[in-house]
Structure 1
């Protein structure tokens, strides 16, 4: 059975959606499926096609010009329509607009969508709401990453998920005063709240795993490593300041005391409505965050109980279970005989 994923970015680009698509693809291949990923060529040195861990990756150049980029995408897909025709399932990751013409060119082809998140701008633009509702209307099934999308976009998910995470193979002794920030260095991740927190903390070491427009501000308080694998930092850090869902799950999996900052109602609901909300500190107050960091530094027993409960929850959010969610929605459009594997 041939699966075709459409996604804006893919490995070696680093991000939550990229990891999501890669891990799901690998596990589908282990089940006997064939997976092709169509994505953008975000660097000139990347090959137009290659196999990465048995995933067939097809890349195209997308001009960064409004409307021109979309038109170019449509033309490339029409030129390569054979990739769509030979696929049993087409699944879009936030980029249903890429597939829109083919809903009419190939009306019998089943297409599905995963809604990964918001666009980083609040209030939400009416255009973005309409695009999600259009994708919902024309998709044969969908997964939404977080209950907040239903509330703020008025869309209904066939499956509500919060992603998955790789569990550490072993736990190392934590550095009590090490803080790691994980995510893009931008305002829409709540980073500005954390930047106001650091002056209130003395004697703490801060490391940043990420990059973005606020890099210069972050360098005033700690070392910025850029987008790298955060595994080594999470195993050592006592505290993690998380920018998104994946970084939050990674922090809980590594038993880090986890903080998420918000600066608008949507971001508050994104984490406040999540099932892991009781094991993180969600705040828009730099004072509250600094006081909680100091508190958890003192109260070792209470902190460990919270960390264990967060870990017990996140270890159930496996990639295996996430793949089952994909198979579940695909069954909406295909007979069960296709799912014997």
Structure 2
């Protein structure tokens, strides 16, 4: 039996993290997996990340930097990670005709104690990760998404319950997820949030010199998925630019198939005031450091990793008043929350409010940094995971 108490002082745990999403794919689950694996390894556990081979890696501006190179944990890639589309966002699904057999071999050879699967209702790799787990290991699933009720989920729910019921532990990154899950997967869930590397995402990051030229910078960062609201962002910036003049700039960090569509939304007379930075990975803190305000008119999110990154970098946030964001920040404290998410005028007014009040930007930035460090640093979140694993291991698989 493992010793009680945080830290597993007398014994490390062998953990397999199974995920469709890992570098070079960029996104919230990728960041969660990387931070989870890094911090758990630092605490003395043996961690193996099991993921797919991305067939067509996305182009990245700082692509010469690979966060996965030289990590202290093992990365095992199986099958091919093929891109798809679902829940108004880009998705990946790992396919391999021998996937279940390969997973069993990986788990058995490493004598895995904990199989931790991200998005366990997602075919194919996550579901097979649950089904291939050794009988001697406890299985944990983390659910990351909010989604509307659909006919597809209605039809798939009985099959999904057969998989999810085999999990020994069920985690959600925020209470916002439970409302989506409850009609289909009515189980007991524990909230353990996303974490942040507060040393990397820091106010001390070096800004981009050519963009610190005296203009006030508004930052949008995210994939060009429709639900992320870049069209609303461009509309709000257009109004702000009309009022403020050329002393304000919009920096857009991200990319996707809809890039040309979004670029056409920018009026030609202010096109020079919108900087399209492209898809950025490791250097994201530098863009937060370059920004005066971070803005995200996202329409659907369970948590809001870009908000947390901006807050950790000490930047005020203007964001949609959606469930995942309201659980992370408070209106008037770390930034401003706007409803509805598609309201261009309200986003423009809120941006103007902060543009005209530098002291408010400073205050909100300090509050955001404090929240990120005190509540969401990986050093804290990994401790919650350790305690959760220990409780399950003491009960035993299937308890």
For Structure 1 versus Structure 2, the TM-score category normalised by the shorter chain is 0.7 to 0.9
Paired position in structure 1 for 2:45: 33
Secondary structure of 1:335's counterpart equals helix
Paired position in structure 1 for 2:5: none
**Does residue 205 of structure 2 align to residue 152 of structure 1?**
no
Secondary structure of 2:353's counterpart equals helix
CA distance in 1, matches of 2:101, 2:230: 41
Cα deviations across residues 109-140 of structure 1 (Å, max 9, x unaligned)?
31101112236xx4555518837755542211
Deviates more, 1:103-112 or 1:300-309: 103-112
**Does residue 330 of structure 2 align to residue 291 of structure 1?**
no
CA distance in 1, matches of 2:57, 2:164: 35
Paired position in structure 2 for 1:225: 277
Structure 2 stretches lacking a partner, 5+ long: 1-12, 59-67, 85-91
* TM-score, length basis structure 1: 0.82
Paired position in structure 2 for 1:309: 367
Question: Does the CA-based 8 Å contact 1:183-1:209 persist in structure 2?
Answer: yes
After TM superposition, give the deviation of residue 326 of structure 1 in Å. 1.4
Paired position in structure 2 for 1:61: 79
Question: Does the CA-based 8 Å contact 1:218-1:224 persist in structure 2?
Answer: no
Alignment of 1:236-315 (within 5 A): 236-242=290-296, 245-261=304-320, 268-272=322-326, 274-278=327-331, 279-283=334-338, 284=341, 285-315=343-373
Question: Does the CA-based 8 Å contact 1:114-1:144 persist in structure 2?
Answer: yes
Instruction: Describe the shift of the 1:271–1:169 C-alpha distance in structure 2 as closer, same or farther (beyond 3 A).
Output: closer
**Does residue 249 of structure 2 align to residue 205 of structure 1?**
yes
CA distance in 2, matches of 1:192, 1:43: 29
Q: Which has the higher helix share?
A: 1
Structure 1 stretches lacking a partner, 5+ long: 263-267, 337-341
CA distance in 2, matches of 1:177, 1:201: 11
Paired position in structure 1 for 2:168: 140
After TM superposition, give the deviation of residue 293 of structure 1 in Å. 1.0
Deviates more, 1:34-43 or 1:303-312: 303-312
Question: Does the CA-based 8 Å contact 1:208-1:218 persist in structure 2?
Answer: no
After TM superposition, give the deviation of residue 39 of structure 1 in Å. 0.7
Paired position in structure 1 for 2:195: 163
Alignment of 1:311-330 (within 5 A): 311-316=369-374, 317-330=376-389
* TM-score, length basis structure 2: 0.71
Instruction: Describe the shift of the 1:170–1:275 C-alpha distance in structure 2 as closer, same or farther (beyond 3 A).
Output: same
